[in-house]
Amino acid sequence: MPLSRDQVSLWAHATHPVACPLSETSVDAWVDRLQVATGGHVVDLGCGLGAWAGRLARRHPGIDVTAVDTSAVALAAARGAWPGSRVDWVHGDAVAWIEAHEAPVDAFLCSGSTHAFGGYRDALARLTSRLRPGGLLLVGEGFWTRAPASAALDALHASADDFLPLDETLGVAREQGYDVVHVDISTDDEWDAYEAAWCTALEMRARTDRDLTDEDAQQLRELAHAHRLAYEEGYRGTLGYVTMLLRTPPEGR
């Protein structure tokens, strides 16, 4: 039986638990920018291995942090990586969590997870309805740095409509009433480091994990090889990644 997608993802992010092309330094800076008053509630939707939620809880001990993910494998790893962090780790779907909790939230994180809502535009629309006036949304999203060639689309298993150019990505946020507080574009070095870490982690697992069957080890090697080719010969330099801090209008505006 092939290894599950969740298990492969866990191993692929062993040395780069931030599941997007952002360095540890960049994530720390973003966490510092996310200023929420004591007693506030921050929800990380699609938390993965907890790199954002764990940092938030430790750096801002006066706030409540909820972290939601569909992967039980990732959540178990997150709990182990951030012991005593006071994060409420929730196994479930982001949309279902939103629908089940009507109380307004002070801030949402949605880093590389807008697909859970059907895409970037729909995610922004859904989340603004659950934020307090003046609430914050820290969102990470892919964008086209140039018109994607067929090689990039094939490598990503994507269509040209799946992402927007950067100016249109920011424009969607403004059209939906958000103020754009801060924007940062992932560098080529951050992209290269992320993709290399992903592939190298799987190759290392295939070489060193004696509990793997020969078939499982071969699957990991093939995944790493295919991923490296997809990045280097497909979407490198075409798919960008932007992280944005957005704010909803204050009450009365």
Place of tokens 């086209």: 144
pLDDT, tens digit, 9 for 90 and up, residues 188-206: 999 999 999 999 999 999 9
Residue 235: what pLDDT?
98
Residue 87: what pLDDT?
97
Residue 253: what pLDDT?
54
pTM of the full predicted structure?
A: 0.95
CATH superfamily of 20-185+241-247: Vaccinia Virus protein VP39 (3.40.50.150)
Torsion of CA 220, 162, 116, 168, to 10 degrees: 130
96 Cβ contact list (under 8 Å, min separation 6): none
Tokens matching residue 10: 């866990």
Residue 2: what pLDDT?
84
Q: Domain locations in the chain? A: 20-185+241-247
Q: Name the percent of the chain in helix, strand, coil, to the closest 5.
A: 45, 20, 30
Residue 123: what pLDDT?
97
Average of per-residue pLDDT values in the chain: 96
Which residue ranges of the chain lie beneath pLDDT 50? Answer: 252
What is the enclosing helix (H) or strand (E) of 22? Answer: none
Residue 154: what pLDDT?
98
Task: Kindly report the backbone phi and psi dihedral angles of residue 45, in degrees, each rounded to the nearest multiple of 5, phi listed first.
Answer: -100, 120
